[in-house]
């Protein structure tokens, strides 16, 4: 079994990956692939992550989670997509840099399906376009509160990717301009 976690950075995808996969659901199912809607894994992964505290799930726990999230039998590849896998928008920026907890979070996600082949995918966007998205999506905090005195020009993806690679392999790509959903 292959488990794919698309952890894209906030504001890079607007659920485009899942929408496209759902539009092709019949073909995917015929080919042993199932894209999981967030509503189906919401709560399940969080509870498991809390109980495991970074440890590996037992085979029984893995099978229970798969039974809960899969609609179809004979699935060989499962795709889950959610930018929240690497943290909430409020945690994108910290004194440690961009998405500082992502490496630990991705390693913990991988441990949910320790017996599977787990793949991680991460879409990045320019910090100059990420910051306005984050500020817009945290309405109860000001720009100054979100930045916490961190000069925006110091934010780089390199340190974040290095932290992730210390814990997991990841496929990374850059998203240029993204369209705003209507």
180 inside domain = no
Predicted local confidence at residue 177, as pLDDT: 57
What lies within 8 Å, CB to CB, of 22 at 6+ separation is 35, 37
Specify the number of domains making up the chain: 1
144 inside domain = yes
Task: Write the pLDDT tens digit of every residue in 23-62.
Answer: 999 999 999 999 999 899 999 999 999 999 999 999 999 9
Task: Write the pLDDT tens digit of every residue in 119-129.
Answer: 999 999 999 99
Q: What is the CATH number of the domain that holds 169?
A: 3.40.50
Q: Quote the tokens at residue 43.
A: 């709560």
Tell me the C-alpha distance between 126 and 182, whole Å. 22
131 inside domain = yes
62 inside domain = yes
Place of tokens 């992550």: 49
Tell me the C-alpha distance between 29 and 48, whole Å. 26
140 inside domain = yes
Q: Does 165 score more than 90 pLDDT?
A: yes
Task: Write the pLDDT tens digit of every residue in 128-164.
Answer: 999 999 999 999 999 999 999 999 999 999 999 999 9
73 inside domain = yes
Kindly report whether the global pTM for this prediction surpasses the value 0.95.
Answer: no
């Amino acid at each position: 079994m292959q488990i794919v976690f698309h952890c894209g950075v906030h504001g890079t995808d607007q659920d485009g990956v899942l929408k496209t996969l759902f539009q092709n659901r019949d073909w995917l199912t015929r080919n042993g692939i199932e894209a999981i809607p967030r509503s189906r894994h919401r709560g399940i992964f969080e509870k498991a992550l809390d109980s495991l505290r970074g440890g590996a799930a037992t085979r029984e726990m893995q099978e229970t989670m798969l039974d809960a999230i899969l609609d179809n039998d004979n699935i060989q590849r499962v795709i889950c997509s959610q930018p929240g896998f690497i943290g909430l928008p409020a945690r994108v920026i910290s004194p440690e840099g961009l998405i500082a907890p992502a490496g630990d979070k991705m390693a913990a996600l991988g441990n949910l399906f320790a017996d599977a082949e787990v793949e991680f995918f991460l879409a990045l966007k320019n910090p100059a376009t990420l910051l306005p998205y984050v500020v817009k999506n945290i309405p109860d905090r000001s720009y100054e509160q979100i930045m916490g005195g961190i000069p925006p020009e110091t934010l780089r993806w390199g340190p974040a990717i290095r932290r992730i690679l210390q814990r997991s392999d990841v496929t990374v790509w850059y998203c240029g301009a993204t369209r705003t959903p209507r």
